């Protein structure tokens, strides 16, 4: 009988040997959910089979059956390019390339590059050598780590020498780490060959417009060929360079994710056209991110009162373009020095003050973790498919679609207390089945046993449009307040796979005997 080690919190003191041992049937089974708190495998399995058991997905929700093998190989462990992988794998960013060649109206470079990361935070700037020490330290301690990204502040293609040197140093020491970079595109065409030579398979290109007139409201200037350009000229050059860069990446089979910042009243409707154009030019994924605008960040938009979109406005736009380029809906607009699974931030544990001078890389935890994931993942995929098919059938009969918010710490399961959640993952149940559609960030309601009413009000407002919250535990007080707001909440499906828990809840709610899901 074994101990299940959870995928969601491999932060505890569990050695790679423990994990390996867990893989043999006679030895304790290490579960993927709580390395810091042992859970018996019997308990977990029982819950999986009898419907009472225990987080979840970014980008493409496809699996190995839905895409060519060579593409699946590139995306299967990338938390941003595969919705499914984001339950299991982590990324880290190193802020090594601070110089930028354009100005975006939503950016104040003091506070990171909001093309690919959240504005309003200040990342520790690193030299390539410091980045190497940091990555070796994280890779030894965070078994989920699969991707190293350079995502601002600044532009990785403009400040390219530092980008190149960082990737060179790190891939020598950790050859299996995936390299990922993000760019505004202006310098991209000059770098594509070097990118291909470095075996970088993933490039994020921010494209906010395909009509330079729209661009004049987003970009006050660019710096190109030793000259500062403004107005329509600046936008035209940027647009042409972005299109050229995208075509060059596609021609070299480098996967390109396009990020677009949704700016209400500026480019929101125009992003439908952007989606069409980037699809034609071969983008793999389109990530429409909401503008984050706050006067405290000192950006042009923040200071002039430009608002960001509401969650339902973002969803509406995403739904409108859902037949175009595949959408990424699990982006967390992470920090430029983010570390960990998407949605969690472990950067504080790995600031340079915590990184040893003579850092070394120990691959054992990452290797052991991958073996566990390979097993756990197959079960999750099968469960998800079954739940989705069952729900599709039920919804076409009941005609009732719902939005479900999940409290999860990762690993594809419902495994977090309502009051501990800093975000809820939102799934849509429709005649198409069940699918991840986004997340809602909230302030943590429960701090040391206490919950503030005002915080709960904020959580309820963030859950606009949601029918039910599924979590691993919830108190009576929040339950009552949610009920008054017309939102059900249940901890009956604690530790269940997310999709199976949703299907079981739907069955209970709509009392349909023929809706059955087994894990």
Q: Which residues bind ligand CLF (CB under 6 A)?
A: 80, 91, 93, 116-117, 147, 149, 151, 180, 182, 202, 204, 257, 287, 331-334, 342
Q: Which of residues 93-132 bind ligand SF4 (CB under 6 A)?
A: 100, 102-104, 107, 109, 113-115
Position 44 contacts ligand SF4 (CB under 6 A): no
Q: Which does 331 bind (CB under 5 to 8 A by kind): ligand SF4, ligand CLF, none?
A: ligand CLF
Residue closer to ligand CLF (CB basis): 279 or 473: 279
Element housing 288 (H / E):
strand 285-290
Six-digit token string for 505: 């809840």
Residue closer to ligand CLF (CB basis): 178 or 413: 178
Q: Which does 481 bind (CB under 5 to 8 A by kind): ligand SF4, ligand CLF, none?
A: none
3-state DSSP of 330-359: CCCCCCCCCEEECCCCCHHHHCHHHCCCCC
| CA-based nearest residue to 257, from 321, 315, 183 | 183
Least distance CB 319 / ligand SF4 (angstroms): 27
Least distance CB 488 / ligand SF4 (angstroms): 40
SS3 436: strand
Least distance CB 465 / ligand CLF (angstroms): 22
| CA-based nearest residue to 130, from 159, 86, 95, 92 | 95
CA–CA separation, 449 vs 471, rounded Å? 17
Total residues at interface with ligand SF4 (CB under 6 A): 14
Least distance CB 90 / ligand CLF (angstroms): 9
Position 336 contacts ligand SF4 (CB under 6 A): no
Six-digit token string for 298: 């000192």
Per-position x/- string for 145-184, each x denoting binding to ligand SF4 as judged by CB under 6 A, each - no binding: -------xxxx----------------------------x
Least distance CB 106 / ligand SF4 (angstroms): 7
Report the DSSP pairing between strands 145-150 and 102-103.
unpaired
CB atoms under 10 Å from CB of 370, counted, come to 17
Q: The tokens 């935890």 sit on which residue?
A: 365
> Angle at CA 345, nearest 5°, toward 339 and 348?
80
Least distance CB 444 / ligand CLF (angstroms): 20
Residue closer to ligand CLF (CB basis): 22 or 135: 135
Q: Which does 204 bind (CB under 5 to 8 A by kind): ligand CLF, ligand SF4, none?
A: ligand CLF
Position 238 contacts ligand SF4 (CB under 6 A): no
Q: Which does 80 bind (CB under 5 to 8 A by kind): ligand SF4, ligand CLF, none?
A: ligand CLF
End-to-end CA distance of the chain: 19
Residue closer to ligand CLF (CB basis): 5 or 180: 180
Least distance CB 355 / ligand CLF (angstroms): 20
Residue closer to ligand CLF (CB basis): 174 or 402: 174
Q: Is 57 exposed, middle or buried (0-12, 13-18, 19+ CB in 10 A)?
A: buried
Q: Which does 416 bind (CB under 5 to 8 A by kind): ligand CLF, ligand SF4, none?
A: none
Q: Is 435 exposed, middle or buried (0-12, 13-18, 19+ CB in 10 A)?
A: middle
Least distance CB 8 / ligand CLF (angstroms): 17
DSSP structural state of residue 139: H
Cis peptide upstream of residue 22 (ω within 30 degrees of 0): no
CA–CA separation, 369 vs 366, rounded Å? 5
Six-digit token string for 280: 């034609």
Q: Which of residues 350-369 bind ligand SF4 (CB under 6 A)?
A: none
Least distance CB 155 / ligand SF4 (angstroms): 5
Greatest CA separation found in the chain?
Answer: 70
Least distance CB 175 / ligand CLF (angstroms): 18
Residue closer to ligand CLF (CB basis): 287 or 416: 287
3-state DSSP of 447-480: ECCEECHHHHHHHHHHCCCCCEEECCECCHHHHH
Q: Which residues bind ligand SF4 (CB under 6 A)?
A: 100, 102-104, 107, 109, 113-115, 152-155, 184
């Amino acid at each position: 009988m074994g101990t299940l080690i959870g995928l969601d919190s491999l932060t505890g003191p569990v050695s790679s040997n423990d994990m390996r041992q867990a893989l043999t049937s006679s030895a304790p089974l290490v579960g993927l959910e709580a390395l810091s708190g042992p859970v018996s495998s019997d308990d977990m399995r029982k819950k999986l089979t009898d419907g009472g058991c225990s987080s979840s997905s970014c980008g493409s929700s496809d699996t190995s059956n839905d895409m060519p093998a060579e593409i699946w190989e590139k995306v299967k462990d990338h938390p941003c390019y595969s919705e499914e992988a984001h339950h299991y794998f982590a990324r880290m960013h190193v802020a090594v390339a601070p110089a930028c060649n354009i100005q975006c109206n939503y950016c104040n470079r003091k506070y990171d590059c909001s093309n690919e990361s959240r504005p309003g935070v200040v990342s520790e700037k690193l030299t390539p050598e410091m980045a190497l020490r940091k990555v070796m330290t994280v890779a030894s301690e965070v078994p989920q780590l699969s991707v190293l990204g350079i995502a601002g502040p600044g532009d990785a293609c403009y400040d390219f020498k530092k980008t190149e040197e960082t990737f060179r140093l790190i891939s020598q020491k950790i050859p299996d780490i995936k390299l990922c970079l993000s760019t505004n595109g202006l310098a991209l065409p000059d770098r594509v060959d070097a990118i291909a030579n470095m075996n970088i398979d993933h490039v994020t290109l921010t494209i906010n417009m395909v009509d330079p007139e729209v661009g004049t409201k987003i970009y006050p200037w660019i710096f190109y060929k030793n000259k500062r350009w403004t107005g329509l000229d600046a936008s035209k050059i940027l647009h042409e360079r972005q299109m050229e860069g995208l075509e060059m990446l596609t021609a070299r089979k480098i996967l390109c994710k396009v990020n677009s910042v949704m700016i209400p009243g500026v480019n929101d409707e125009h992003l439908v056209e952007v989606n069409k154009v980037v699809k034609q030019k071969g983008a793999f994924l389109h990530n429409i991110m909401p503008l984050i605008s706050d006067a405290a960040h000192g950006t042009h938009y923040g200071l002039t009162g430009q608002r960001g979109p509401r969650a339902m406005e973002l969803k509406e736009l995403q739904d409108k373009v859902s037949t175009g380029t595949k959408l990424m809906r699990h982006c967390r607009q992470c920090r430029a020095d983010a570390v960990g699974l998407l949605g969690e931030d472990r950067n504080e544990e790995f600031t340079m003050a915590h990184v040893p001078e003579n850092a070394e890389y120990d691959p054992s935890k990452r290797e052991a973790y991958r073996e566990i994931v390979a097993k756990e993942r197959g079960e999750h995929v099968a469960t998800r498919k079954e739940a989705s098919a069952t729900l599709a059938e039920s919804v076409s009969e009941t005609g009732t679609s719902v939005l479900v918010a999940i409290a999860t710490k990762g690993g594809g399961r419902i495994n977090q207390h309502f009051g501990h959640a800093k975000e809820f993952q939102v799934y849509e149940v429709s005649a198409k089945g069940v699918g991840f559609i986004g997340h809602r960030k909230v302030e943590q309601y429960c701090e040391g046993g206490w919950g503030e009413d005002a915080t709960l009000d904020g959580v309820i407002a963030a859950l606009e449009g949601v029918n039910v919250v599924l979590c691993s535990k919830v108190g009576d007080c929040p339950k009552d307040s949610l009920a008054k707001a017309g939102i059900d909440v249940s901890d009956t499906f604690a530790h269940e796979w997310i999709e199976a828990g949703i299907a079981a809840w739907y069955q209970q709610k709509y009392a349909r005997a023929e809706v059955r899901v087994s894990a």
